[in-house]
């Protein structure tokens, strides 16, 4: 009998040798990375590095041209939409219905995810409470500020208890306090609730020394590892210096 205990669980996200081109424009070139359960992995890259393209491939918005992408061991391109079930998403652009209340937005999404009304309501209450948003449940999204809207999007992404959470530049346009709050909340999610997080950003101060880090530049991986190790390997004093060194080459 094979020893099942000896088989390690697959990572929450595995990207192997993925390349992608828009016509002749190569956006990703042989990218490999993985995100383990409980890891906060920062995908750090300047504008145009390929972060959004990578997210579009992982979420199935773009078809995989070459390489392999697996979510908790299942490949959407091979296993179909069911492979996307462990995935929670916060897109770069807000996608809430402004004319619905917070609760209505969450109830709609819970139904899409197949939760019963009762479970959906309970999950929404739990996530809103964790985000200090319980008292806003009955307000129209249009009346919320940007930071509160982002918290609702985060609650929505967590309703079905995803094992892998992807966030594409989720703090763009937020004030400093709201940014810090979201950054801290998602770090806690990874550490305490063991969610695997892939956080795309171009903002260095969102990355902590003990985060896992992938530096993407011109469609390729310029460095990867524990953030403090990437800094040391680049011979830099801090992540800002390391990032400057690693992304010095001018865009092609
Ligand atoms: N639909 C498209 N058609 C053609 N080229 C594209 C398309 N989308 C992206 N690109 C190009 O692919 C490259 C990677 O873009 P991508 O949006 O993935 O980078 P990014 O790191 O997310 O940047 P940003 O932070 O500006 O969104 C860029 O050179 C971009 O111009």
pLDDT digits 0-9 by tens, 129-143: 999 999 999 999 999
Q: Please write the tens of the pLDDT for every residue from 5-56.
A: 667 789 999 999 999 999 999 999 999 999 999 999 999 999 899 999 999 9
Cα 53 to middle of ligand 1, angstroms: 6
**Are 203 and 170 in contact, with CB atoms under 8 Å apart?**
no
Best of 15, 20, 51, 201 to mutate for ligand 1, by most ligand atoms within 8 A of CB? 51
Best of 27, 58, 169 to mutate for ligand 1, by most ligand atoms within 8 A of CB? 27
Token readout for 28 is: 């990703």
Q: Please write the tens of the pLDDT for every residue from 181-196.
A: 999 999 999 999 999 9
Q: Is the pLDDT of residue 73 over 50?
A: yes
Domains of the chain: 10-86+170-252 (3.40.50.300), 97-161 (1.20.1580.10)
Residues 6+ apart with CB under 8 A from 159: 106, 109, 110, 113, 115, 120, 123, 124, 127
């Amino acid at each position: 009998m094979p020893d099942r205990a000896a088989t390690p669980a697959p990572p929450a996200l595995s990207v192997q040798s993925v390349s992608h081109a828009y016509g002749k424009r190569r956006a990703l070139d042989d990218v490999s990375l993985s995100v383990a359960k409980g890891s906060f992995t920062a995908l750090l890259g300047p504008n145009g590095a390929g972060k959004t393209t990578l997210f579009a491939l992982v979420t199935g918005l773009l078809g995989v041209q070459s390489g392999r992408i697996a979510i908790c061991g299942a490949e959407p391109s091979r296993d179909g939409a069911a492979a996307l079930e462990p995935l929670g998403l916060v897109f770069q652009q807000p996608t809430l219905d402004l004319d619905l209340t917070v609760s209505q937005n969450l109830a709609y999404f819970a139904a899409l995810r197949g939760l019963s009304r009762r479970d959906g309501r309970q999950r929404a209450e739990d996530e809103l409470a964790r985000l200090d948003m319980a008292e806003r449940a009955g307000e129209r999204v249009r009346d919320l500020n940007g930071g509160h809207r982002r918290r609702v999007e985060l609650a929505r992404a967590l309703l079905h208890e995803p094992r892998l959470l992807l966030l594409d530049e989720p703090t763009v346009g937020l004030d400093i306090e709201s940014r810090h709050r979201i950054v801290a909340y998602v770090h806690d999610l990874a550490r305490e609730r063991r969610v695997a997080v892939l956080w795309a950003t171009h903002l260095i101060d969102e990355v902590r020394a003990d985060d896992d880090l992938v530096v993407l530049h011109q469609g390729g991986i310029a460095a990867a590892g524990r953030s403090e190790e990437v800094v040391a390997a680049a011979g830099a004093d801090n992540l800002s210096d390391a990032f400057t060194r690693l992304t010095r080459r001018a865009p092609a």
